[in-house]
Structure 1
Amino acid sequence: MKKQLWLVLSLLLLTMSQHSYAQNDAAKALLNKVSQKYNGYKTIQAGFTLDIKQANGSSHSDAGTLYLDKANNKYHVNTKNQILISDSKTQWNIMKAEKEVEISEASNSTNEINPTNIFSFYTSGFKYALVGTEKVKGMSLSVVELTPVDSKKNYSKIKLRVNKVNNLIYDTTIFDKSGNRYTYTLNAQEGNKAIASSYFTFNKSNYSGFDIVDLR
């Protein structure tokens, strides 16, 4: 579950013809607007849904809320089955049904998609093209396809849809090389909302009876 969540939260080779260059320029201009929007936020609170379609035809859905302190690389993600907390140095993966907490070192790497960069991962390491516009629930969404420069990544492409009105990300779909598809949809986003510091710390007393596994 942890792997599935952050293949998304989790939420990303064109030919060298003249048309492709024009597409790249348009995509870059759009992504710059998106980056500018999110760079204006010190904190973000966002509700989300996660839909997973596996290559064998089965599917799985989850939903939750992300609390992000961008300035300090801290996050708190709460779903039905799992909670992830990081104070930028340590990550606590709380699995509710298993009553287990895994402790590991936090990853702040810019080379992978993680909660600290899910609103900005697309700014480097990708080739991209603006491929069209789609309508969803009355909204007009610009569609950008991103291809990782590093062919060793475990996903082949990412589809990013952006609301044309406010330049906010609507959803991100990750296509992994095994045929699975992960779609992370943002259903509510609030920037610069005050978030209590306690959201980004692990309080052992709240998880009485849980096994603590230190993987550091």
Structure 2
Amino acid sequence: MKKQLWFIVGLLFMMYSQNSYAQNDAAAKALLTKVSQKYNTYKTIQANFSLLIKQASGGSHTDAGTLYLDKANNKYQVNTKNQVLISDAKTQWNIMKAEKEVEISEASNSTNEINATNIFSFYTTGFKYTLTNAEKVNGLTLNVVNLTPVDSKKNYSKIKLRINKATNLIYDTTIFDKSGNRYTYTLASQQGNKALSENLFVFNKNDYKGFDIVDLR
């Protein structure tokens, strides 16, 4: 099976807040609560993102795309140059354009893994957290929280979450996997409560004529 670009780390890249933080750092907890409250006001989100992969070997890879999320119904579409992921909350379609192949699998709505439905709220459970020094990027002041998974069996050792101080919106997320690779997702723009067409979350095979269909369910 070909790996999905949207969390190529081997994770599924964790929107329902559970508001149960693991432990540590009251200042970090207060900040994450503000971020969670901000995103909880959104029923839908459209976000443009970029991905930077820095490999332990020194190589790198970049990509960019758009995430459409119907938070209330756990539906999403992730669209990049080479790949489209569509989920109607029951089924996921992984469309690989270059390979002209579509993989069909059951949608994962687990809160125990990072996936497209909870990228904005994965930090609310299962982590130890500390607030570190703020950073400046492109004139923005970013608060920085380092997250360490409580479950040591996770295949990543740390997540660095940077939050726009002025808006309490996530600026970027960097995942440090145990093999030495780093995956940084930067949210270039975010629009909350935007009207999204239901067609975004429906796979239409007529749009992909000539593609091989592989059903993994």
Classify the TM-score, shorter chain. over 0.9
Q: Which amino acid aligns with 1:209?
A: G
Give yes or no for the alignment of 1:46 onto 2:47. Answer: yes
Q: Which amino acid aligns with 1:162?
A: I
Counterpart of 2:103 in structure 1 is: 102
Root-mean-square deviation (Å):
1.5
Could you tell me how far 1:2 is from its partner in structure 2? 3.9
Counterpart of 2:183 in structure 1 is: 182
Does the residue aligned with 2:153 lie in a helix, a strand or coil?
coil
TM-score by length of 1: 0.92
Counterpart of 1:34 in structure 2 is: 35
Q: Which amino acid aligns with 2:161?
A: L
* Distance 1:132-1:9 versus aligned 2 partners, 3 A rule: farther
Q: Which amino acid aligns with 2:128?
A: K
Does the residue aligned with 2:6 lie in a helix, a strand or coil?
helix
Q: Which amino acid aligns with 2:105?
A: S
Is the 2:45–2:192 contact (alpha carbons within 8 Å) kept by the matching residues of 1?
yes
Q: Which amino acid aligns with 1:159?
A: K
Percent identity, aligned pairs only? 76
Please, which runs of 5 or more residues in structure 2 have no aligned partner? 15-22
* Distance 1:72-1:168 versus aligned 2 partners, 3 A rule: same
Instruction: Map 1:107-122 to 2 at 5 A.
Output: 107-122=108-123
Q: Which amino acid aligns with 1:59?
A: S
Is the 2:4–2:94 contact (alpha carbons within 8 Å) kept by the matching residues of 1?
no
Q: 1:117-146 CA distances to partner (integer Å, 9 max, x unpaired)?
A: 000000000000001100000000000000
Does the residue aligned with 2:98 lie in a helix, a strand or coil?
coil
Counterpart of 1:10 in structure 2 is: 13
Distance (Å, rounded) in 2 between the aligned partners of 1:45 and 1:156: 29
Q: 1:142-198 CA distances to partner (integer Å, 9 max, x unpaired)?
A: 000000000000000000000000000000000000000000000010000000000
Distance (Å, rounded) in 2 between the aligned partners of 1:131 and 1:91: 37
Q: Which amino acid aligns with 2:75?
A: K
Does the residue aligned with 1:115 lie in a helix, a strand or coil?
coil
Please, which runs of 5 or more residues in structure 1 have no aligned partner? 12-19
Distance (Å, rounded) in 2 between the aligned partners of 1:116 and 1:213: 23
Distance (Å, rounded) in 2 between the aligned partners of 1:88 and 1:132: 38
Give yes or no for the alignment of 1:152 onto 2:153. Answer: yes
Distance (Å, rounded) in 1 between the aligned partners of 2:98 and 2:115: 23
* Distance 1:97-1:3 versus aligned 2 partners, 3 A rule: closer
Is the 1:10–1:184 contact (alpha carbons within 8 Å) kept by the matching residues of 2?
no
TM-score by length of 2: 0.92
Counterpart of 1:202 in structure 2 is: 203
Is the 1:50–1:183 contact (alpha carbons within 8 Å) kept by the matching residues of 2?
yes
Q: 1:87-132 CA distances to partner (integer Å, 9 max, x unpaired)?
A: 0000000000000000000000000000000000000000000011
Q: Which amino acid aligns with 1:191?
A: G
Q: Which amino acid aligns with 1:121?
A: F
Q: Which amino acid aligns with 1:198?
A: N
Could you tell me how far 1:3 is from its partner in structure 2? 4.3
Is the 2:104–2:214 contact (alpha carbons within 8 Å) kept by the matching residues of 1?
yes
Q: 1:65-93 CA distances to partner (integer Å, 9 max, x unpaired)?
A: 00000000000000011000000000000
Counterpart of 2:130 in structure 1 is: 129
Count of equivalent residues: 206
Counterpart of 2:20 in structure 1 is: none
Deviates more, 1:139-148 or 1:2-11: 2-11
Q: Which amino acid aligns with 2:71?
A: K
* Distance 1:103-1:9 versus aligned 2 partners, 3 A rule: closer
